[in-house]
Amino acid sequence: MPCNQHKVHDPECAVCIMVLHSSKKPPKTLKRIAFWWLKDHGYEGLFNGDAGCGCRLTDLMPCDEPGEGCEAGYEGPCDCGEGCDWHIGPKRVAHEEDPK
């Protein structure tokens, strides 16, 4: 079963991999448990305001070191002035393609 963005399972897509593995066995790792909890509750990733980092669901915990300061968050545009493509933060931001 692929993710919502792909018609067939993409072995390079983190979401496709999580969907494939979740259909075979229940989540037992911290990464898989966090992924499904965040997804089920409408979050788009994690962020740590003190550390100045964030990660999307599609590339969750690339640091392999989630900390106590990591919080559930939503994706939004860059507002730090450093030219990032996105940020994860505490407030939901309407995306440009959203009809709202």
Instruction: Give the integer Cα–Cα distance in Å for 40 and 25.
Output: 17
Which pLDDT does position 8 carry in this prediction?
Answer: 61
pTM given for the model: 0.68
- Please give the Cα distance from 1 to 49 (Å, whole number): 34
- φ, ψ for residue 59 (rounded to 5)? -145, 60
Q: What is the pLDDT along the chain (100 residues), one digit of tens a residue?
A: 556 666 666 666 767 666 666 555 666 788 888 998 999 999 999 999 899 899 999 999 999 888 899 999 999 998 888 888 899 999 987 766 545 4
